């Protein structure tokens, strides 16, 4: 029933009943629930079954009921019975109408329940042991067997602890809770009355405060008028001051704009000079790389010449040995011919290697000539950039406070540095030039 219950509709219905100051009887409430107005898929049969179930649990103390198979003590046959479990006894009947009672199983703290294996064609067996007798019972499936075992064991445990019925304990707890809620409600009503009395007193105090606030507002209005007149006078004074400050600020902005244009021209010249320095550095790097490649080519040519000289010496030694072998005796001629053939083969291989070395030497010489041309081009490029940098050195004018000393006149116009600064610049430039030529 709880799955389709419309709690919002029921709350609205309760509010309407409270406004009408009219209650419902038990039978009217049952009929209202059975009508399906506040729940889905609920009819009068479902409500009747639910009420019967609640009656069995709360009034008759029925913990569980259902059909089980019981084995007889005398004939040992199996008979289906309707079992009803209560807090102190487990009764069994012929059918669920509870008219023909067949016996009771008295449950106390000395009883126990055990699960049995399947036998004699019966499944889902369990045993209820009491002081006088033991009862073998069979359930329809494993789930019901487990539920009956747990419920019977719960009753036995409650009997051991001396608890009469879990439903009665719940009823007593609900009764105590209702009494507690009623006492809290009465206390709440008493506090509400006190708060109402206090609220009335506060209303009187607020009325007095409101009158006082009106008087204070009148006095504040007079003071506000005085402050307003004073504020207007100050505002006129501040306006005149602001106009003077704006004129001064405009003059300063004009001066700053002039200085900014001069600074932009200076920065433009500095950027041009920096770009020239970067290009000069690239030219110097190219010249350095060309020198390194020239040195590598020289070393390669030296190694090739050394290898060629070594091969020539080997050829001369082989030639001398060949002439000495020819002058030997006829007895050693055959052996010498064999050795001569081997040495001729070695001589041919050495000649081929010598030709290869000659080709490599010619290629290295061509590479050296190419690198030498690149070095000359880099040197000429470096000299041209050095001349350009020397020409642009005089274009830099630093923006500094004026000096009382007379300024210098150069080919490009008045300079903004003294004679000492000029000597220092010439000294630095000469050191950089010497360092570049040494590299």
Of 133, 120, 113, the C-alpha closest to 76 is 120
Contact status, residue 77 vs residue 121, Cβ threshold 8 Å: no
Residue 331 has what DSSP assignment?
G
* pTM of the predicted model over 0.85: no
Q: What pLDDT is recorded for position 83?
A: 93
C-alpha 108/C-alpha 133 separation (Å) is: 13
Q: What pLDDT is recorded for position 93?
A: 93
Contact status, residue 148 vs residue 126, Cβ threshold 8 Å: yes
Q: What pLDDT is recorded for position 396?
A: 47
Query: Scanning the structure block, which residue is given the tokens 């001066």?
Result: 255
Contact status, residue 254 vs residue 246, Cβ threshold 8 Å: no
Residue 403: phi and psi, rounded to 5, are -115, 150
The series of mean pLDDT values per 10 residues for the chain, 439 residues long, is 58 64 60 62 61 60 86 87 88 89 87 88 89 89 91 86 66 76 84 87 88 88 87 86 88 87 87 86 84 84 84 84 74 76 83 83 81 80 71 50 50 56 78 75
Number of Cα atoms under 13 Å in the Cβ half of residue 191 = 6
Q: What pLDDT is recorded for position 92?
A: 93
Residue 202 has what DSSP assignment?
H
**What is the biggest distance separating any 2 CA atoms in the chain, rounded to whole angstroms?**
157
C-alpha 209/C-alpha 216 separation (Å) is: 10
Q: What pLDDT is recorded for position 399?
A: 44
Q: What pLDDT is recorded for position 424?
A: 80
Buried b / exposed e over 335-356, threshold 16 CB at 10 Å, is ebeeebeebeeebeebeeebee
Of 306, 309, 298, 275, the C-alpha closest to 385 is 275
Contact status, residue 357 vs residue 280, Cβ threshold 8 Å: no
Q: What pLDDT is recorded for position 217?
A: 87
């Amino acid at each position: 029933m709880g799955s389709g219950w419309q709690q919002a509709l029921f709350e609205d219905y309760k509010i309407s009943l409270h406004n009408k100051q009219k209650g419902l009887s038990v039978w009217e409430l049952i009929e209202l629930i059975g009508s399906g107005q506040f729940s889905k898929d609920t009819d009068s049969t479902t409500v009747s079954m639910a009420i019967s179930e609640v009656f069995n649990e709360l009034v008759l103390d029925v913990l569980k009921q259902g059909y089980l198979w019981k084995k007889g003590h005398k004939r040992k046959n199996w008979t289906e019975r309707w079992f009803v479990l209560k807090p102190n006894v487990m009764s069994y009947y012929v059918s669920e109408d509870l008219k023909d009672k067949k016996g009771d199983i008295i449950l106390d703290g000395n009883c126990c329940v055990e699960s049995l294996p399947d036998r004699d064609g019966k499944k889902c067996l369990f045993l209820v042991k009491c002081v006088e007798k033991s009862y073998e019972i069979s359930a329809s499936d494993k789930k019901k067997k487990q539920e009956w075992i747990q419920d019977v064991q719960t009753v036995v445990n409650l009997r051991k602890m001396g608890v009469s019925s879990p439903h009665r304990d719940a009823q007593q707890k609900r009764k105590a809770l209702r009494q507690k809620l009623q006492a809290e409600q009465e206390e709440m009503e008493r506090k509400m009355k006190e708060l109402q009395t206090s609220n009335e007193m506060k209303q009187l105090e607020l009325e007095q405060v409101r009158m006082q606030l009106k008087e204070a507002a009148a006095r504040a209005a007079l003071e506000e008028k005085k402050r307003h007149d004073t504020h207007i006078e100050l505002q006129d004074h501040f306006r005149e001051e602001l106009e003077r400050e704006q004129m001064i600020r405009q003059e300063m902005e004009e001066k700053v704009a002039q200085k900014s244009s001069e600074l932009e021209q200076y920065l433009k010249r500095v950027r041009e000079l920096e770009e020239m320095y970067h290009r000069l550095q690239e030219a110097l790097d190219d010249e350095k790389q060309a020198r390194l490649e020239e040195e590598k080519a020289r070393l390669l040519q030296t190694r090739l010449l050394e290898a060629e000289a070594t091969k020539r010496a080997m050829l001369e030694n082989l030639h001398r040995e060949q002439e000495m072998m020819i002058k030997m005796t006829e007895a050693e001629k055959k052996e010498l011919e064999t050795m001569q053939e081997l040495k001729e083969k070695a001589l041919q291989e050495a000649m081929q290697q010598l030709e290869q070395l000659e080709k490599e030497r010619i290629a290295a010489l061509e590479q050296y000539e190419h690198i030498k041309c690149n070095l000359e081009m880099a040197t000429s490029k470096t000299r041209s950039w050095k001349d350009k940098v020397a020409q642009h050195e005089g274009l830099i004018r630093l923006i500094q406070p004026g000096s009382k000393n007379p300024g210098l006149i150069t080919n490009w116009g008045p300079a903004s540095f003294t004679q000492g600064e000029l000597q220092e610049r010439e000294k630095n430039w000469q050191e950089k030039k010497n360092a570049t030529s040494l590299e």
